[in-house]
């Protein structure tokens, strides 16, 4: 009699041990401690074709993605469970990447299959950190408040200072037209050939505020892929000179510019310039701005505050993106995080092949003056910037659209 009773008791105790261990394992998965998290291989698609949703711990649930908080810089809600740190280090190596790495393609597929969603908590945390470090609401645009007459200011991309002369002071805005404004959604539209055939025009135009780069042709030919709305567009010296054949003492370029603005429906668009990133650009853009005003062209020209761009570079350097100077694209994405509740990024794809290894034109506009764009630009590493955008996408901070919208 004694031996069967002992067997039953032993069996019962063994079951209790397994139940207890199971509870400990479950608690460890739910813990916020990153060292207790487990890597989980995504399960196969169900019969209906749907895939479960990734949670903060890399597990799969039936709910939408909701990240409660970001504990520290080492916490990688999606990316860390799908890529090893050694793989990330390779992406930031000194070798330029001209084709999308398989690890990034896999990550993009996983996030897209997991029904990605904005993480408002993570956005607020990063927005607060960015604003504390860069003061976008005050410093993004050069104004008479943040750059008074006679003050000395550093260039953004080289050593040295310039003085706010009366001419510069007169060209400044009294106050920023974007001050104390928050848009619900913003679309930032790059010029990558990945937009060709994307059908993303309607998604882009859903935004309350649309930002474009380097005065692209926003015309009917590409309407379905790039949309029609533009609230702010950047330009640089090279774009103005090459696109409109700008000459110092020949104002024929002004009519070409006027026609372009009219044909692209940009009459009410703010033109964003960088006069003080390096020496020599200031006079060019001041003349550009004065000419538009004297010729009755309605666009308001905004000048970037170089100190803000310096502060933004320093912020991202601390986050692992230590580049000589950020591209205007990445810089404007960073600024948009302070101006917009949700940021959607289109046409940012710095590679010569798409996600399915098909060859791409570098720009959707077939711009033969910039066939490889920033790929060979010694001052920019747009591949590294893209990897940082992928990290922000992973964390639910920006939506990075790299596929078709159909």
The CATH number linked to 159 is 3.90.1480.20
> What is the pLDDT, as a whole number, of residue 245?
85
- Tell me the mean pLDDT in the region 327-335: 96
Portion of the chain with pLDDT greater than 70, in percent: 72
> What is the pLDDT, as a whole number, of residue 379?
61
Residue 306: name the closest of 275, 330, 345, 284 by CA: 275
- Per-residue pLDDT of 162-176, as tens digits, reads 999 999 999 999 999
To 5 degrees, how large is the angle CA 393–CA 398–CA 401?
A: 70
- Tell me the mean pLDDT in the region 363-384: 61
Whether 288 contacts 275, CB under 8 Å: no
pLDDT value at 213 more than 60: yes
- Tell me the mean pLDDT in the region 367-371: 48
Residues 124, 10: one domain?
no
pLDDT value at 180 more than 60: yes
Residues 25, 143: one domain?
no
> What is the pLDDT, as a whole number, of residue 321?
85
- From CA 387, how far away is CA 180, in angstroms rounded? 31
Phi-psi region of 347 (alpha: psi -120 to 50; beta: other; left: phi over 0): left
Flag whether 126 is in a domain: yes
pLDDT value at 130 more than 60: yes
- Per-residue pLDDT of 151-160, as tens digits, reads 999 999 999 9
Whether 145 contacts 179, CB under 8 Å: no
- From CA 382, how far away is CA 333, in angstroms rounded? 13
Residues 145, 279: one domain?
yes
Flag whether 284 is in a domain: yes
- From CA 71, how far away is CA 31, in angstroms rounded? 12
Residues 4, 137: one domain?
no
Residues 139, 281: one domain?
yes
- Tell me the mean pLDDT in the region 113-140: 94
pLDDT value at 365 more than 50: yes
pLDDT value at 249 more than 90: no
Flag whether 386 is in a domain: yes
- Per-residue pLDDT of 12-33, as tens digits, reads 555 444 444 444 333 333 233 2
Task: Give CA 188 to chain center in angstroms.
Answer: 8
- Tell me the mean pLDDT in the region 83-111: 73
> What is the pLDDT, as a whole number, of residue 369?
45
Give me the helices (H) in 222-348, please: 223-226, 237-244, 252-263, 281-294, 306-318, 328-339
- Per-residue pLDDT of 41-73, as tens digits, reads 333 333 333 333 323 332 222 222 222 333 333
Residues 182, 297: one domain?
yes
Flag whether 36 is in a domain: no
Name the pTM for this structure: 0.78
Residues 216, 358: one domain?
yes
- From CA 326, how far away is CA 316, in angstroms rounded? 9
Tokens of 108: 């993009």
> What is the pLDDT, as a whole number, of residue 7?
52
> What is the pLDDT, as a whole number, of residue 356?
92
Listed in order, strand segments (DSSP E) in 102-243 are 152-154, 161-163, 183-189, 209-212, 232-234
Q: Which residue range(s) make up the domain with 12?
A: 1-30
Q: Provide the mean pLDDT of the chain.
A: 79
Flag whether 53 is in a domain: no
Whether 305 contacts 142, CB under 8 Å: yes
- Tell me the mean pLDDT in the region 265-270: 94
Whether 226 contacts 265, CB under 8 Å: no
pLDDT value at 236 more than 70: yes
Residues 190, 299: one domain?
yes
Angle, helices 306-318/120-134, rounded to nearest 10 degrees: 130
Whether 394 contacts 79, CB under 8 Å: yes
> What is the pLDDT, as a whole number, of residue 378?
53
Whether 223 contacts 199, CB under 8 Å: no
Task: Give CA 166 to chain center in angstroms.
Answer: 35
Residues 300, 191: one domain?
yes
Task: Using pLDDT thresholds of 50, 70 and 90, give the confidence band for residue 296.
Answer: very high
Flag whether 341 is in a domain: yes
Flag whether 150 is in a domain: yes
Flag whether 374 is in a domain: yes
Q: Considering only 94-103, 219-228, 284-293, which range has the smallest mean pLDDT? A: 94-103
Domain count, the chain: 2
Q: Which residue has the higher pLDDT, 63 or 114?
A: 114
Residues 278, 391: one domain?
yes
Cβ-based neighbour number of residue 170 at 10 Å = 12
Residues 196, 327: one domain?
yes
């Amino acid at each position: 009699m004694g031996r069967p009773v002992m067997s039953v008791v032993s069996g019962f105790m063994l079951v209790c041990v397994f139940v207890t261990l199971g509870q400990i394992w479950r608690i460890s998965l739910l813990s916020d401690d990153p060292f207790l998290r487990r890597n989980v291989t995504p399960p196969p698609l169900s019969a209906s074709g749907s895939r479960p949703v990734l949670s903060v711990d890399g597990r799969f649930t039936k709910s939408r993605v909701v990240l409660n908080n970001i504990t520290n810089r080492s916490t990688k809600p999606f990316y860390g469970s799908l890529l090893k740190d050694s793989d990330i280090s390779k992406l930031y190596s000194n070798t330029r990447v001209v084709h999308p790495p398989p690890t990034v393609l896999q990550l993009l597929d996983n996030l897209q299959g997991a029904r990605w969603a904005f993480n408002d908590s993570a956005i607020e945390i990063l927005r607060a950190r960015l604003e504390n470090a860069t003061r976008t609401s005050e410093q993004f645009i050069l104004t008479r408040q943040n750059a008074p007459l006679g003050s000395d200011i550093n260039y953004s991309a080289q050593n040295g200072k310039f003085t706010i002369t009366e001419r510069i002071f007169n060209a400044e805005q009294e106050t920023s037209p974007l001050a104390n404004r928050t848009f619900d959604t913003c679309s930032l539209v790059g010029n990558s050939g990945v937009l060709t055939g994307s059908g993303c025009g309607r998604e882009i135009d859903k935004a309350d505020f649309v930002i474009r780069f380097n005065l692209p042709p926003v015309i009917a030919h590409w309407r379905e892929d790039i949309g029609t709305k533009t609230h702010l567009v950047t330009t640089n010296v090279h774009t103005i000179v090459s696109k409109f054949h700008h000459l110092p003492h020949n104002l024929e370029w002004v009519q070409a510019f006027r026609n372009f603005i009219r044909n692209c429906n940009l009459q009410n668009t703010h033109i964003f310039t960088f006069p003080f990133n390096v020496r020599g650009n200031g006079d060019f853009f001041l003349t550009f701005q004065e000419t538009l005003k004297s010729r009755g062209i309605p666009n308001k020209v905004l000048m970037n505050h170089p100190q803000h761009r310096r502060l933004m570079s320093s912020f991202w350097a601390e986050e692992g993106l230590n580049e000589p100077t950020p591209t205007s694209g990445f810089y404007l994405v960073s600024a948009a995080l302070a101006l917009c509740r949700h940021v959607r990024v289109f046409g940012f794809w710095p590679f010569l092949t798409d996600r399915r290894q098909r060859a791409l034109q570098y720009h959707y506009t077939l711009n033969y003056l910039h066939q490889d764009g920033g790929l060979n630009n010694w001052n920019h590493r747009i591949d590294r910037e893209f990897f940082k955008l992928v990290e922000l996408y992973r964390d639910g901070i920006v939506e990075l659209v790299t596929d078709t919208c159909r």
